[in-house]
Each structure stands twice: as structure tokens, then as C-alpha cells.
């Protein structure tokens, strides 16, 4: 995502002071706008069910009204709106967003479409992987009138679209209209800080992120993103203790969780907290983090064991890697169809440009699973229909992503091959180190401690912080002897 905004904020930094709370010339903001229902009886019934905390009953009522043949087209669309609202309430967020999008596409100026805009404005911060989709949607047509509150969201996406098209004049006109104290204005500040990082202006970036974190009214999603970015700034400034504290404050999810664990392991390596770093790297082998894998995890683990003179362990790690990926490496060399490699795709999806799209597909997949696991109060017929719709959405996005990643397959495969060569080189150099130590000790037998891995990492799972084993996970360490010094190496765990 950062790359997409690079050119945008080269210019934005010059104009950031002009941001205000006015509105575009193309649309009129309606103060005090209120939704007027098409079917008052249905509206009252659904609202009563929502107030009495009966969302599944509300879903059932809305769904059958949506499918009813006696309803006119506007009433059907309204029932679909109610259905989306209640699906969101029970946690089926992706399909709710899809319904809101469809309502806006079908009738941009209707009351249902305007209410859908309000729902998107309220909820998009919690489903950031949909923001590119909404940008495409909102720039397909103009809204003559919009409710007060959604103007900043629309101007934000209009500005992004104009920047991408090179229409800088119109983009800056939109930026002037964004409320700097709301989520969309705060998002601009966040990206401004990221631009400072790209330009090497770390102190300025730290100031931006700190201001967002310390602001009492800042949106929770912006605060969390700012915490993560400040952790990375502290890392670059070699303030590792501060960086670790920020990482611990960050409520990671999805692919971010694995990435954050690796960054913490790298920070611990630079501080020579090897036991803690190895514990994090071992945790990354859990099935739950398979989407976060890169060869860099293997390289860092080998570097730590080499640092402690555990040369046979270094060789074992390299051998396990070679055994696991030798066929894949051979396929790459023989002109293998890279689009079929899940390993390459997972590495690509860690790129910020594609991470949100991958998270979107994953959310659709999770909701399909949850339909039959968590939402058993729904009628089976409704579950089956929602499942088919989610499957169709999922297939559509997978097809789109497959086309978008085509230009990146070759370079990612080359990256994988390069890192694999680094692993072989590190194994070779470690072998030379071991040979040199044996000569130094002359005839004394040199033996590295044999570290057995008894756990089956395919069964490890760290789903949420509330579960009891989360605290164990945070303090997970690998304790070993420093063979270089011949003394037990004790390390500190997570605080």
C-alpha cells in the first residue's frame, strides 16, 4: 500500500496545511439526514429485533422479505439493506460489505444507497481490505446529495483516484475537504508519517505517529497502525527496548501477526537476546503462521545458532530447508509455472500492495467456515445460500488477484532462489567456522549440543489473546548453551 501512495504524498507534504472541513462542489451535504423506510412495517419489525438483541431472527425476517415475490424492487433493496446490517452485527462483515456495494451500484441516489454509504463510512476502518474496492466503486458515479458524515470518506477516495490518474489539481481540491480530526483525515496523517520513513526522516515520522497515538479522540484502528509504525521507527533508530514495548502494544491480526513476530525476533537478535529470538522463530513454525513464511526466517535462525557456535544445528536447519524446498527450487530452474506455487504467492501477499486483497479472500473463506460453525441459529436454507454467495465472491476476488500478481511472480521466485543460495552459503561458512574451532582446540573433541524439537508445530495454534496459552506463547524461549564461551546462556523473555 505504501508504494501506491508514494507519489501522492510527495505532493501532499507541500499542501497538507490546506486540509479543512468543507465539501466538494459536485455534491451537496445534507445536514440532519434521516432514513425514510419504504416498508415501515418491516423497518419497525427489524429494528425491534435488533434492539432486543435477536439478530438471527432479524436476519431471517430480512432475508425472506428480500426474496419475497410480493415486494417491489425498492422494497427488496431495502430488505437487502436490513439484511446487510444484521449480518454485520453477527460478525459476517465481508458479505455485509458486498451487499452494501451492490445496493450502491444498483441505485446510487436512493435512500438505501445513502444509508449504505453511512454504514461503509462507519465500518470500513475495521475491514481495511475493502478500501480499494470502495475506491473503485465511489469513483464510478457522482452523488448529487450525500448525508453529512460521509463527505470526508468520498473525498478521500476521490483524491486517491485522481492522484493515481495524475489529476493532481482535482486531488488537492478533494484533500482540502477532508475533516482532519476524523478517521479519513487521520489516515492521511498516518500515510504522511510513512512517507517520512521512506524519505529517511525518522524523527519527523516518529513525531507524526506519536501525535496520532497520544490524541485522545483518534480512531482505534489508526492508533493501532501508528503503534506498529512507531515500533518500526524505533527499530530503525536502534532503540530496541522501545521498539519491543510498542510491538507488545500492537494488536496484530492476520498476516501482520507473523510479520511482527519476525520483526521482534530480528530486534532480539540485534540485542543478543538469542533465547527469546529463537522462541519467536520456533513459534513462527506453527501452522497458524504458514502464510507469513519467508526464507529470511530460516536465515535468521541459522545466524543465531552460528553466533553461539552450534554448527551442526546450523547444518541441520539448512538440510531441512533443502529437503522441503528442493523440488520447488528445481521446478523454478526448469521453467515451472510460477502461478501454481503457493509458496511464491504467500510471499507476494506479504507485500503491502497485495496484503489487503489476500486478507479479503481470507475473510471470505473464514466467514464460509463460520457459517456452519458459529452461526447455527440461522436456518439451514439461509446458511446454504449465503455460503454459495460467499463462494462466488471468493472465486471472483481470487481471479482478480491472480491477474494482478502476474508481473510479480518472476521477481519473487528470483528472491526465493537468492535467499536459498544465502542459506547454502551460510551453511558453508558455518562449516568453515566449525573446522577452524576444531583446529584451535587441537585434539579436543568438539560437540555441539543436540537440540531436539519434540513439538509438532502443525498442531500449535495461537488464535486470540484471551486464551490462556497466549501468555505462554509470549514468553516462549529456546534455552541452550553458548558453545563459543562454554557457559549457559540465559536470556530474558517477554515482559
Burial of 141 (0-12, 13-18, 19+ CB in 10 A): exposed
Furthest C-alpha separation in the chain: 93
At 280 the pLDDT is 92
Q: Where are the domains of the chain?
A: 3-267, 268-489
Inter-residue contact 212 to 226 (CB < 8 Å): yes
Taking only the tens place, the pLDDT of each residue in 438-482 is 666 544 444 444 444 444 333 333 333 334 344 445 556 776 666
**Is 312 within 8 Å of 318 (Cβ atoms)?**
no
CA–CA distance, 82 with 88 (Å, rounded to integer): 10
Burial grade of 88 (CB within 10 A; 0-12, 13-18, 19 or more): buried
143: nearest Cα among 260, 46, 29: 29
Count of Cβ atoms closer than 10 Å to residue 412 Cβ: 20
Classify burial at 120, counting beta carbons within 10 Å of its beta carbon; exposed 0-12, middle 13-18, buried 19 or more.
buried
Q: Tell me: the pLDDT tens digits for 218-260?
A: 999 999 999 999 999 999 999 999 999 999 999 877 778 889 9
CA distance 348 to 338: 12
Q: Of 264, 317, 253, give the one whose Cα is nearest residue 288.
A: 253
> Residue 448: its pLDDT value, please?
44
3-267 CATH choice from 1.20.1440, 3.40.50, 1.25.40, 3.30.70: 1.25.40
Which ranges of the chain have pLDDT less than 50? 1-25, 442-472, 487-495
DSSP 444: S
In angstroms, rounded to a whole number, what is the distance separating the alpha carbons of residues 137 and 157?
A: 9
Which triple of cell numbers denotes residue 169? 489539481
- Predicted local distance difference test score (pLDDT) of residue 440: 62
pLDDT recorded at residue 289: 86
Tens of pLDDT, residue by residue over 171-205, are 888 888 888 888 999 998 998 899 899 999 999 99
Given this model, what pLDDT does residue 485 score?
Answer: 64
Amino acid at each position: 500500500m505504501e508504494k501506491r501512495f508514494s507519489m501522492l504524498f510527495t505532493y501532499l507534504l507541500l499542501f497538507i496545511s490546506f486540509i479543512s472541513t468543507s465539501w466538494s462542489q459536485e455534491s451537496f451535504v445534507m445536514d440532519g439526514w434521516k432514513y425514510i423506510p419504504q416498508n415501515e412495517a418491516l423497518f419497525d419489525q427489524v429494528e425491534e429485533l435488533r434492539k432486543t438483541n435477536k439478530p438471527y431472527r432479524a436476519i431471517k425476517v430480512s432475508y425472506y422479505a428480500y426474496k419475497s415475490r410480493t415486494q417491489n424492487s425498492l422494497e427488496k433493496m431495502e430488505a437487502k439493506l436490513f439484511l446487510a446490517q444484521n449480518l454485520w452485527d453477527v460478525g459476517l462483515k465481508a458479505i455485509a460489505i458486498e451487499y452494501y456495494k451492490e445496493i450502491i451500484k444498483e441505485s446510487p441516489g436512493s435512500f438505501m444507497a445513502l444509508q449504505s454509504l453511512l454504514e461503509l463510512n462507519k465500518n470500513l476502518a475495521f475491514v481495511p481490505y475493502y478500501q480499494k474496492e470502495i475506491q473503485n466503486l465511489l469513483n464510478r458515479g457522482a452523488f448529487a446529495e450525500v448525508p453529512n458524515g460521509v463527505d470526508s470518506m468520498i473525498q478521500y477516495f476521490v483524491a486517491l483516484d485522481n492522484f493515481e490518474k495524475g489529476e493532481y489539481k482535482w486531488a488537492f481540491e478533494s484533500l482540502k475537504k477532508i475533516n482532519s480530526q476524523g478517521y479519513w483525515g487521520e489516515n492521511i496523517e498516518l500515510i504522511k508519517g510513512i512517507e517520512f520513513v521512506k524519505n529517511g526522516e525518522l524523527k519527523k515520522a516518529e513525531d507524526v505517529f506519536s501525535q496520532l497515538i497520544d490524541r485522545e479522540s483518534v480512531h482505534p484502528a489508526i492508533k493501532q497502525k501508528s503503534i506498529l509504525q512507531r515500533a518500526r521507527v524505533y527499530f530503525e533508530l536502534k532503540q530496541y527496548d522501545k521498539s519491543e514495548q510498542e510491538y507488545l502494544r500492537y494488536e496484530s491480526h492476520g498476516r501482520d501477526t507473523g510479520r511482527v513476530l519476525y520483526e521482534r525476533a530480528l530486534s532480539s537478535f540485534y540485542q543478543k537476546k538469542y533465547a527469546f529470538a529463537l522462541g519467536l522463530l520456533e513459534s513462527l513454525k506453527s501452522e497458524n503462521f504458514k502464510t507469513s513464511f519467508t526464507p529470511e526466517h530460516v536465515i535468521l535462525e541459522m545466524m543465531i545458532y552460528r553466533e553461539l557456535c552450534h554448527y551442526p544445528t546450523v547444518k541441520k536447519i539448512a538440510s531441512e530447508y533443502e529437503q522441503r524446498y528442493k523440488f520447488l527450487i528445481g521446478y523454478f530452474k526448469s521453467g515451472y509455472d510460477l502461478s501454481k506455487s503457493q509458496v511464491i504467492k504467500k510471499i507476494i501477499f506479504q507485500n503491502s500492495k497485495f496484503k489487503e486483497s489476500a486478507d479479503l479472500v481470507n475473510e471470505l473463506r473464514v466467514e464460509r467456515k463460520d457459517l456452519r460453525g458459529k452461526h447455527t441459529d440461522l436456518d439451514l436454507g439461509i446458511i446454504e445460500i449465503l455460503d454459495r454467495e460467499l463462494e462466488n465472491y471468493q472465486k471472483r476476488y481470487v481471479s482478480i488477484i491472480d491477474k494482478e500478481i502476474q508481473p510479480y511472480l518472476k521477481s519473487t521466485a528470483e528472491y526465493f532462489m537468492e535467499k536459498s543460495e544465502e542459506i547454502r552459503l551460510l551453511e558453508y561458512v558455518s562449516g568453515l567456522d566449525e573446522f577452524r574451532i576444531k583446529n584451535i582446540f587441537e585434539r579436543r573433541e568438539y560437540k555441539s549440543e543436540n537440540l531436539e524439537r519434540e513439538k509438532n508445530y502443525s498442531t500449535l495454534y495461537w488464535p486470540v489473546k484471551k486464551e490462556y496459552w497466549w501468555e505462554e506463547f509470549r514468553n516462549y524461549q529456546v534455552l541452550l548453551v553458548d558453545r563459543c564461551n562454554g557457559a549457559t546462556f540465559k536470556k530474558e523473555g517477554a515482559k
